[in-house]
Structure 1
């Protein structure tokens, strides 16, 4: 008898357990993971059931409190508590119980539950919303002439690969605002004459960018050559302007100026003095001869008058 009683108790326990399991499975008919693109609209469906007396959306986001959006069929009354204006019924709740979120933001990530009440009990349909943001990509050359590829987005982080294949390992940096930046620097022994191509892979984006980077020393030599050429041109123009400003003419043979002889009173004096001296000497000789002749012609004892 005792063994039989124990078997009956065990059988009842199994039946209760199976019944509770069936009820649990029936009342929790959905547990889905959904995703939405940042800035886009999304809709979550609440399955139809019969004889509904009340439907309620219970929303628990990771950055806010509990939000409820309810509709009572018997009173035809809508009630909302602590919900954003972007969250509302997709249409009339008396015949469409879907929830619509306009311009999904990062703060909308979290758990969404639709609770339906009818004569058979309460039924719950669960969703977990993940917001996806397209990464902001950037491809540039560093100071050493190496291509660098960056992709900034929210979780999950973007993946970066290179063509040709790079030997470097991408680095991920997490920021306080919830975003993550993945940086990869191209490092390969040879590119086979092709520009390195960065491939960014994400749930919301597949993007390809190519870039050609010159080695740093080549850039330095090129910059120096450009600067020197510019300085030479400026110097040449400045020299031409200087000569033009001062009246110089290039490739012009000038005629030497005519030389006009000059005379001075001293030259006249030099030329006159020999003639004067000669005349004076002639006069002295003439006077001496004249005196001698007069003396010879005068009687003795008389002297020529002076």
Structure 2
């Protein structure tokens, strides 16, 4: 009975010892692990914690997307070896300090875990970073065809939070992209009845807050659009009318002229023309009469019968 009680006490003691050991290891691991937040385009330097002179240093980079990158430095040969690392990640060397890892102009592809392992005369040391990369959204504000303000926070990481001033009803939608960014689109649907129609879109984001205002003025814009459309339609109608008139005159101007045939007028015969037409016949008759008279005179003079012709 007593032996059983001792066994239970020993078991509880071992359990408590293991639990404390686990808690201590977790605390140590947490102490050697850091969270790092960077914005796209910024640069940073990561250091390793160590004691004594190093003999070997190794950085292991495990991004969320892509292959693992390693940078190894051997102090005895002063030589660096790297595998599948981007050009903006390099080791930098400073006097009396171990090589540090420099990230220049960080991008979304560099987000992930960065681990540093160091071997020195004092022992082995480990340091771990978790890098989170923020992408500030691109803000744009415009008016749609109905005169409602539309605010867009494009390609933000994490997604931006949009709000309006003055407050009113709005509709929002999100579009996710392959690189992990999100575009948020918000439309302000409540029309203000106040004197001013200025609407402000406010963007809240870990990389920075921004705001932009716009005056869509739905009522004024409708009147302006109606007047503009009326002017455009009037101009189009005038142009069409002018083209039709030009085409009409051109069509009728190119046709050949058809002159009407004047009515035939009966020729007027004057008395002089009749005289001219009758005159040759009169002359001929006169000549015949002269010849006849001459023959008659000759016949009478010679006592010849009048029916006989001379020379027959």
> How would you bin the TM-score normalised by the shorter chain?
0.5 to 0.7
Distance apart, 1:75 and its partner CA: 3.4
Tell me the matched-pair count: 237
Q: Confirm or deny that 1:211 pairs with 2:208.
A: no
Deviations 1:199-240 (A, max 9, x none): 1221223222111114363243121343367579989x99xx
With over 3 angstroms needed to count, the CA separation of the structure-2 counterparts of 1:76 and 1:7, relative to structure 1, is farther
TM-score, normalized by length of structure 2? 0.65
Q: Confirm or deny that 1:226 pairs with 2:234.
A: no
SS in 2 for 1:224: helix
Distance apart, 1:167 and its partner CA: 0.7
CA distance in 1, matches of 2:189, 2:109: 38
SS in 2 for 1:222: helix
Question: Quick check: 2:36–2:129 contact (8 Å CA) kept in 1?
Answer: yes
Question: Quick check: 2:171–2:188 contact (8 Å CA) kept in 1?
Answer: no
Name the residue aligned to 2:114.
112
CA distance in 2, matches of 1:93, 1:70: 18
Distance apart, 1:23 and its partner CA: 5.3
TM-score, normalized by length of structure 1? 0.66
Q: Confirm or deny that 1:202 pairs with 2:231.
A: no
Name the residue aligned to 2:169.
167
CA distance in 1, matches of 2:194, 2:70: 61
Name the residue aligned to 1:139.
141
Question: Quick check: 1:29–1:123 contact (8 Å CA) kept in 2?
Answer: no
SS in 2 for 1:60: strand
Structure 2: 5+ residue stretches without partners:
244-312
CA distance in 2, matches of 1:187, 1:220: 20
**C-alpha root-mean-square deviation of aligned residues, in Å?**
3.2
With over 3 angstroms needed to count, the CA separation of the structure-2 counterparts of 1:70 and 1:104, relative to structure 1, is same
Distance apart, 1:170 and its partner CA: 2.0
With over 3 angstroms needed to count, the CA separation of the structure-2 counterparts of 1:147 and 1:111, relative to structure 1, is same
Structure 1: 5+ residue stretches without partners:
239-306
CA distance in 2, matches of 1:111, 1:93: 27
Name the residue aligned to 1:77.
79
Deviations 1:264-304 (A, max 9, x none): xxxxxxxxxxxxxxxxxxxxxxxxxxxxxxxxxxxxxxxxx
Name the residue aligned to 1:130.
132
Distance apart, 1:104 and its partner CA: 0.9
